[in-house]
Structure 1
Amino acid sequence: MQVQPIAIAEDRSIAVPPGHIVRTGYVAVEQVTMACRERMTPGDVKGAYDRLLQLGGHQPWPAPRGHWQGDRFVVVDGRHQFVASLMLGLTHMLVAWVEADA
Protein backbone atom coordinates (compact mmCIF):
# COMPACT_ATOMS: atom_id res chain seq x y z
CA MET A 1 0.00 0.00 0.00
CA GLN A 2 1.37 3.40 -1.02
CA VAL A 3 0.99 6.19 1.54
CA GLN A 4 -0.28 9.49 0.11
CA PRO A 5 0.89 12.81 1.57
CA ILE A 6 -1.59 14.88 3.56
CA ALA A 7 -3.07 17.77 1.60
CA ILE A 8 -3.67 21.14 3.23
CA ALA A 9 -6.83 22.95 2.17
CA GLU A 10 -6.71 26.55 1.01
CA ASP A 11 -9.45 29.11 0.71
CA ARG A 12 -9.46 29.68 -3.01
CA SER A 13 -13.17 29.91 -3.50
CA ILE A 14 -14.74 30.14 -6.91
CA ALA A 15 -18.38 31.01 -7.62
CA VAL A 16 -19.87 28.86 -10.36
CA PRO A 17 -23.21 30.13 -11.69
CA PRO A 18 -25.78 27.67 -13.05
CA GLY A 19 -24.99 26.66 -16.62
CA HIS A 20 -21.25 27.21 -16.18
CA ILE A 21 -18.35 24.85 -15.58
CA VAL A 22 -14.88 25.09 -14.10
CA ARG A 23 -12.01 24.50 -16.49
CA THR A 24 -8.40 23.88 -15.57
CA GLY A 25 -5.28 23.81 -17.65
CA TYR A 26 -1.60 24.59 -17.83
CA VAL A 27 -0.68 28.10 -18.98
CA ALA A 28 2.77 29.35 -19.93
CA VAL A 29 3.89 31.82 -17.25
CA GLU A 30 4.67 34.44 -19.90
CA GLN A 31 0.93 34.46 -20.75
CA VAL A 32 -0.06 35.23 -17.14
CA THR A 33 -0.68 38.65 -15.65
CA MET A 34 -2.00 39.71 -12.22
CA ALA A 35 -5.32 41.47 -11.62
CA CYS A 36 -4.11 42.89 -8.29
CA ARG A 37 -0.68 44.48 -8.34
CA GLU A 38 -0.64 45.82 -4.81
CA ARG A 39 2.26 45.10 -2.49
CA MET A 40 2.78 41.55 -1.36
CA THR A 41 4.36 40.58 1.91
CA PRO A 42 7.66 38.74 1.55
CA GLY A 43 6.43 36.07 3.98
CA ASP A 44 3.44 35.20 1.79
CA VAL A 45 5.60 34.94 -1.32
CA LYS A 46 8.14 32.83 0.60
CA GLY A 47 5.34 30.50 1.72
CA ALA A 48 4.19 30.00 -1.87
CA TYR A 49 7.82 29.55 -2.98
CA ASP A 50 8.49 26.93 -0.31
CA ARG A 51 5.30 25.06 -1.17
CA LEU A 52 6.17 24.90 -4.88
CA LEU A 53 9.72 23.89 -4.03
CA GLN A 54 8.46 21.02 -1.87
CA LEU A 55 6.11 19.82 -4.63
CA GLY A 56 8.95 19.41 -7.10
CA GLY A 57 7.47 19.31 -10.58
CA HIS A 58 3.89 18.90 -9.36
CA GLN A 59 1.32 21.70 -9.21
CA PRO A 60 -0.79 22.41 -6.11
CA TRP A 61 -4.55 22.22 -5.85
CA PRO A 62 -6.66 24.28 -5.68
CA ALA A 63 -5.12 26.05 -8.64
CA PRO A 64 -4.89 29.84 -8.88
CA ARG A 65 -8.09 31.15 -10.41
CA GLY A 66 -8.76 33.89 -12.89
CA HIS A 67 -10.09 34.58 -16.36
CA TRP A 68 -8.95 34.89 -19.95
CA GLN A 69 -8.42 38.30 -21.48
CA GLY A 70 -7.57 37.61 -25.10
CA ASP A 71 -4.55 35.28 -25.09
CA ARG A 72 -3.52 36.33 -21.54
CA PHE A 73 -4.64 34.64 -18.32
CA VAL A 74 -5.41 37.16 -15.56
CA VAL A 75 -4.79 35.72 -12.07
CA VAL A 76 -7.41 36.98 -9.63
CA ASP A 77 -6.56 34.69 -6.69
CA GLY A 78 -3.09 33.14 -6.55
CA ARG A 79 -0.67 35.96 -7.31
CA HIS A 80 1.81 34.77 -4.65
CA GLN A 81 1.99 31.41 -6.39
CA PHE A 82 2.47 33.15 -9.75
CA VAL A 83 5.42 35.18 -8.42
CA ALA A 84 6.87 32.07 -6.78
CA SER A 85 6.57 30.23 -10.12
CA LEU A 86 8.57 32.99 -11.77
CA MET A 87 11.18 32.87 -9.00
CA LEU A 88 11.59 29.11 -9.47
CA GLY A 89 11.88 29.43 -13.24
CA LEU A 90 8.79 27.32 -13.93
CA THR A 91 7.57 27.54 -17.52
CA HIS A 92 3.91 26.60 -16.87
CA MET A 93 1.39 26.73 -14.05
CA LEU A 94 -1.94 25.04 -13.48
CA VAL A 95 -4.85 27.53 -13.36
CA ALA A 96 -8.66 27.42 -13.11
CA TRP A 97 -11.43 29.54 -14.65
CA VAL A 98 -15.20 29.48 -15.09
CA GLU A 99 -16.90 29.50 -18.48
CA ALA A 100 -20.37 28.96 -19.89
CA ASP A 101 -21.21 25.31 -20.59
CA ALA A 102 -21.39 24.83 -24.35
Structure 2
Amino acid sequence: MSAVAKAQLPAEAVETLRLIKAGGPFPFGEDGVLFRNSSTLLPQHPRGYYHAYTVRTPGSTERGQRRIVCGGPRKQTSDCYYTDDYYVTFKRIAE
Protein backbone atom coordinates (compact mmCIF):
# COMPACT_ATOMS: atom_id res chain seq x y z
CA MET A 1 0.00 0.00 0.00
CA SER A 2 1.33 3.44 -0.84
CA ALA A 3 1.66 6.24 1.68
CA VAL A 4 0.90 9.92 1.63
CA ALA A 5 2.49 12.52 3.88
CA LYS A 6 0.11 14.59 5.97
CA ALA A 7 1.54 17.69 4.25
CA GLN A 8 0.47 16.27 0.86
CA LEU A 9 -3.16 15.77 1.85
CA PRO A 10 -5.86 18.23 0.81
CA ALA A 11 -6.47 20.93 3.43
CA GLU A 12 -9.88 19.40 4.16
CA ALA A 13 -8.25 16.08 5.09
CA VAL A 14 -5.83 17.83 7.45
CA GLU A 15 -8.85 19.49 9.08
CA THR A 16 -10.57 16.11 9.43
CA LEU A 17 -7.46 14.71 11.16
CA ARG A 18 -7.54 17.67 13.54
CA LEU A 19 -11.19 16.99 14.35
CA ILE A 20 -10.47 13.29 14.94
CA LYS A 21 -7.69 14.14 17.38
CA ALA A 22 -9.96 16.67 19.16
CA GLY A 23 -12.85 14.20 19.34
CA GLY A 24 -15.11 16.38 17.17
CA PRO A 25 -17.49 17.97 16.64
CA PHE A 26 -17.81 16.43 13.22
CA PRO A 27 -19.77 17.98 10.34
CA PHE A 28 -21.75 14.83 9.49
CA GLY A 29 -23.70 12.49 11.75
CA GLU A 30 -22.11 9.49 10.03
CA ASP A 31 -18.59 10.52 11.06
CA GLY A 32 -16.95 8.11 13.46
CA VAL A 33 -19.04 5.12 12.41
CA LEU A 34 -17.60 1.63 12.39
CA PHE A 35 -15.65 0.75 9.24
CA ARG A 36 -15.80 -3.03 8.73
CA ASN A 37 -12.88 -3.42 6.30
CA SER A 38 -14.88 -6.19 4.61
CA SER A 39 -12.76 -5.89 1.45
CA THR A 40 -9.64 -6.37 3.63
CA LEU A 41 -7.82 -3.54 1.88
CA LEU A 42 -6.52 -2.36 5.26
CA PRO A 43 -4.48 -4.47 7.71
CA GLN A 44 -6.61 -7.04 9.54
CA HIS A 45 -7.76 -6.11 13.05
CA PRO A 46 -10.68 -7.17 15.24
CA ARG A 47 -14.11 -5.77 14.42
CA GLY A 48 -14.53 -2.32 15.90
CA TYR A 49 -10.92 -1.25 15.33
CA TYR A 50 -11.54 1.08 12.35
CA HIS A 51 -13.79 4.14 12.17
CA ALA A 52 -14.56 6.31 9.11
CA TYR A 53 -14.72 10.09 8.84
CA THR A 54 -15.82 12.38 6.00
CA VAL A 55 -13.34 14.65 4.26
CA ARG A 56 -15.31 17.59 2.92
CA THR A 57 -15.27 18.19 -0.82
CA PRO A 58 -15.19 21.89 -1.76
CA GLY A 59 -18.37 22.98 -3.51
CA SER A 60 -20.28 19.80 -2.63
CA THR A 61 -23.36 19.79 -0.44
CA GLU A 62 -23.11 16.01 -0.03
CA ARG A 63 -20.49 13.93 1.76
CA GLY A 64 -18.65 13.14 -1.47
CA GLN A 65 -16.12 10.34 -2.05
CA ARG A 66 -13.28 11.32 0.31
CA ARG A 67 -12.80 9.66 3.70
CA ILE A 68 -10.25 9.06 6.40
CA VAL A 69 -10.34 5.73 8.21
CA CYS A 70 -8.51 5.48 11.53
CA GLY A 71 -7.82 2.46 13.68
CA GLY A 72 -7.34 2.06 17.38
CA PRO A 73 -8.71 4.14 20.24
CA ARG A 74 -10.80 7.18 19.34
CA LYS A 75 -8.85 10.44 19.05
CA GLN A 76 -5.83 8.49 17.79
CA THR A 77 -4.44 9.48 14.41
CA SER A 78 -1.36 7.25 14.19
CA ASP A 79 -3.03 4.46 12.16
CA CYS A 80 -5.03 6.37 9.55
CA TYR A 81 -5.72 5.92 5.85
CA TYR A 82 -6.98 8.32 3.17
CA THR A 83 -9.28 7.42 0.28
CA ASP A 84 -10.54 9.78 -2.39
CA ASP A 85 -12.59 7.15 -4.23
CA TYR A 86 -14.99 5.91 -1.51
CA TYR A 87 -12.97 2.99 -0.15
CA VAL A 88 -11.76 1.59 -3.49
CA THR A 89 -8.11 2.47 -2.78
CA PHE A 90 -6.29 3.69 0.32
CA LYS A 91 -3.06 5.45 1.18
CA ARG A 92 -1.57 5.21 4.64
CA ILE A 93 -1.17 8.67 6.17
CA ALA A 94 2.41 9.24 7.30
CA GLU A 95 2.90 11.96 9.92
TM-score bracket for the superposition, by shorter chain length? under 0.3
Higher strand share: 1
Greater share of residues in helix: 1
TM-score between the two structures when normalised by the length of structure 1 = 0.25
TM-score (norm 2): 0.26
Structure ID, larger Rg: 1
